[in-house]
A and B are shown apart, each in its own frame.
Chain A
Amino acid sequence: MVHEFQYRAPRARSELLAFLAEHGTSAKVLAGGTDLLPNIRMGIAKPAFVVDCKRLPDANRLVFSPSEGLRIGHGVTVSAILQDKTVRENYPLLAEAAHELASHQVRNRATVAGNVVNASPCSDMALPLLCLDAVAVLASAAGERTVGFREFFTGPKATVMKPGEFLAEIRVPPESAGRKGRYAKLKRVKGHDLGIVGVMLASAPDGLRAAVSSASPTPVLVTGIGAGLDAEAVNDLVQKAIKPIDDVRCTAEYRRFMVGAYIRRLLPEVAR
């Protein structure tokens, strides 16, 4: 790569946090690298330091307990989510979305944490995390705080994370275990591609939920959709919540149209 940077691979979380505290935005955390490294190559990101978080001891922790729910370490790959039987059984929505994310090679490297920190409006993993009321554990040299994913995204490629903060872990509450749903994603080609628009419909105690990607500056969650509503009524609610734009991949009008098409397609499967 043309851009030169220094690489660090701390072995302890305290070491990583101290480094981030000292260097702020000139340091970028490297997880899977499937977004960061192409961005450096294209000149979009020009960090002075690249800090690899995969050598921390708890990076790949992926544990479920009925009392605490699921804990997803910052280094857990999208493939690991797909292959974990406990995850598939208790949080099938995570596997639904993971399966649609890019290709094998990317899924083997890309992390769930990286996918949400990147905060693309087309993030696949954001949709199940929203539907499951998951929270992000943000660590910094000053301490830890937790932020629900409903508050996490603030705009395209923007989150509530402050310089010096690190997404240490994602927690999915035990109450969300067993929530089912379906995900449909429109792409230019069958196979791996960035989404043009994506819709996840999921059941929850407060009614049906719809999560939509690539149709607003951030991933969108609509909650409390009445169980008896037909597809047109569900679509009306979702259309009010999204704000799609025209861009290189398609028009806003087409995005709205396909959101409706997917709701009509998925609703009979989810409402069953």
Chain B
Amino acid sequence: MTITLTVNGVSYTRDAAENKTLLHFLREDLGLTGTKEGCGMGECGACTVFLNGRTVNSCCVLAVEADGAVIETIEGEAGPAGLSEIQKAFDRNHAVQCGFCTPGMILSVKELLKAKPKPTVEEIKEAIEGNFCRCTGYEQIVEAVLDVTGRGSGKGRLDHV
């Protein structure tokens, strides 16, 4: 089936097998391999992407379901000026070890910050509950989010926690 969708602001028209997941379509047909496949069952969150403004597990979406959709992946996160604020905070706080969970983790954090610019630690933990990290123990990831939101106020302190 021929589908047309927008990924990171670029429109693509491609033939997609009807049983192909959006995840495999992004990786194999568009060459966007930043989105990872972990469990393939909607549990680990490594394949998280934005679909029409909301995060979804792209392993649980068919490519053909995304016909007409607007998709954002980790490849769209850094701008011409370099890494995004969330990416820089992950870097500063050692929130990346093997890096496999990071693309999904960053997009889940992005969705959280759209709704709650000043999340509490509990809200951060809840926002990333669908993203498994087997390296960091999560602490550095939570610290990275506090870092970026603390700086967002211009105070450079984490007094909103």
Contact = CB atoms under 8 A, between A and B. Distances in A.
Given A37-B62, A41-B40, A104-B55, A5 B18 contact: yes
Contacts of A104: 55, 108, 111, 127, 129-130
B21 interface: yes
A32 to B, nearest CB: 8
Interface string A94-121: 0000000011111011000000000000
A101 to B, nearest CB: 11
B38 interface: no
Interface in B47-83: 48, 51, 54-57, 59-62, 64-65, 67
Interface string A172-213: 000000000000000000111000000000000000000000
Contacts of A190: 129
A109 B62 contact: no
B27 interface: no
B42 A105 contact: yes
A100 to B, nearest CB: 11
A109 B42 CA distance: 10
A41 B130 contact: no
A165 interface: no
B61 A109 contact: yes
A3 B1 CA distance: 17
B20 interface: yes
Interface residues of B, number: 32
Given A34-B60, A38-B42, A52-B65, A79 B54 contact: yes
Contacts, number: 87
Interface string B23-43: 000000000000000001111
Nearest to B49: A105
B45 interface: yes
B19 interface: yes
A54 B65 contact: yes
Contacts of A3: 19
B62 A105 contact: no
B18 A6 contact: yes
A4 B19 contact: yes
Contact of B19 (A5, A9, A54, A108): A5
Contacts of B20: 1
B106 to A, nearest CB: 13
A4 B67 CA distance: 19
A192 B130 CA distance: 6
A7 interface: yes
Interface string B115-158: 00000000001110111000000000000000000000000000
Given A1-B21, A38-B42, A41-B40, A103 B64 contact: no
A50 interface: yes
A33 interface: yes
B60 A103 contact: no
Nearest to B61: A33
A6 B20 CA distance: 11
B78 to A, nearest CB: 22
Contacts of A102: 42, 130
Contacts of A37: 21, 42, 59-62
Contact of B57 (A6, A79, A105): A105
Interface in A206-247: none
Given A102-B130, A109-B61, 7 more contacts: A6-B18, A7-B1, A7-B19, A38-B40, A104-B55, A108-B56, A192-B129
Interface of A: 1, 3-7, 9, 30, 32-34, 37-38, 40-42, 50, 52, 54, 79, 102-106, 108-109, 190-192
The 8 A-B pairs with the shortest beta carbon distances in the complex, nearest first, are A103-B130, A191-B129, A7-B18, A108-B54, A38-B41, A1-B19, A105-B57, A105-B130
19 contacts: A1-B19, A4-B17, A7-B19, A7-B62, A7-B64, A30-B62, A33-B61, A37-B21, A37-B60, A38-B60, A102-B42, A103-B130, A105-B48, A105-B55, A106-B42, A106-B57, A106-B60, A191-B125, A192-B130
